[in-house]
Amino acid sequence: MTKRKEQTLPMAQIMQVIEYIEAHLKDDREGVLDNAALARVAGYSEYHFLRLFRATVSLTPADYIRKRRLTEIIRRIGNSARPMSDIAFEYGFNSKENFTRAFKSEHRILPTEFKEANCSLRLYEPFDPHPAFPPPAVSLIYLDSFTLVGYPSDTDFPPHFWNRYNAEGLSAKLSGGKIVEDFGAMMNNSEKGRLDYYICIKKEQALGDLTGTTELTVAEGLYALFDTTPTGQHEFVDTIRRTWDWIGAVWLPQNGYRRTGGYELESYVESSKKYSERIYIPLEKE
């Protein structure tokens, strides 16, 4: 018996739907951006459209629209003196409470905390099947061992942890008020089936309140150093994500090295507003 090939939605039709959504992001009238309307744009039944949209975009249409609206609101919050609630209302949030709830669910901090910290959030640009990606600068370096002091993550999604770390000013709390380089340190925990993640500063700079912190030893040895392409504030987190994907899918397979399993690091200075970070991966020859 021949196995039936799974139906896929042609990219041209997906992009028609994406363009339609972008044109109507501010339109909250009933029936404009519901599943039935989007299915008609795609030319599919609602059942098949929902299944194929999610398979292509990795989000339901409702999730995609919500993330896109929040992204555009965040962009305008930073460039406008208008009240946040006014901007949110423009994009279909019918109350300040609904907007605050959606923002907190997406980013794990309040809109007011974001505006005060002006930190980098993970935003969602319009879906693009072939996004441009300038690869990072790469070098091989030898690091001496050093110690980090910081907080273990209590979430499985590191960007949420960084949002809270920046919004609550935890770097300055650790350093005693000085501006220092922050490190995200991660290691795969095979026993627990998860990624152990910490945000830290170097031990010699940890002169403030160390309550609730732990110490990590970063092993000496050969590391690949990746400097991400400088971006704007709103593109920063997505550039980091795509750089990590590129390292695993392209650089490592093509260069004859493998990960040692030690701590992998990402570091930057939030207050610098340079929106570029360094990624360190401990290596050994294949």
Same fold, 11-114 and 137-285: no
**Nearest-angstrom CA–CA distance, 261 and 195:** 12
Neighbours of 80 (CB within 10 A): 11
Contact, 70 vs 102, CB < 8 A?
A: yes
β-pairing verdict for 137-143 and 194-202? unpaired
- Domain range annotation of the chain: 11-114, 137-285
- Answer whether 0.75 is exceeded by the pTM: yes
Q: pLDDT (tens digit, 9 = 90+) per residue, 122-153?
A: 999 999 988 888 899 999 999 999 999 999 99
Predicted confidence at residue 50, as pLDDT, reads 94
Task: Tell which residue, 189, 260, 187, has the closest CA to residue 224.
Answer: 260
Predicted confidence at residue 6, as pLDDT, reads 47
Predicted confidence at residue 8, as pLDDT, reads 57
pLDDT at 31 over 70: yes
Alpha carbon separation from 258 to 222, 233, 251, 253, 254 (Å, rounded): 11, 32, 10, 8, 10
Predicted confidence at residue 272, as pLDDT, reads 85
pLDDT at 78 over 80: no
The beta-strand segments (E) located in 18-172 are 137-143, 146-152
Neighbours of 158 (CB within 10 A): 21
Q: Under CATH, to which class is 137-285 assigned?
A: alpha beta
Q: Under CATH, to which class is 11-114 assigned?
A: mainly alpha
Predicted confidence at residue 225, as pLDDT, reads 98
**Nearest-angstrom CA–CA distance, 275 and 239:** 9
Average pLDDT (60-80) is 91
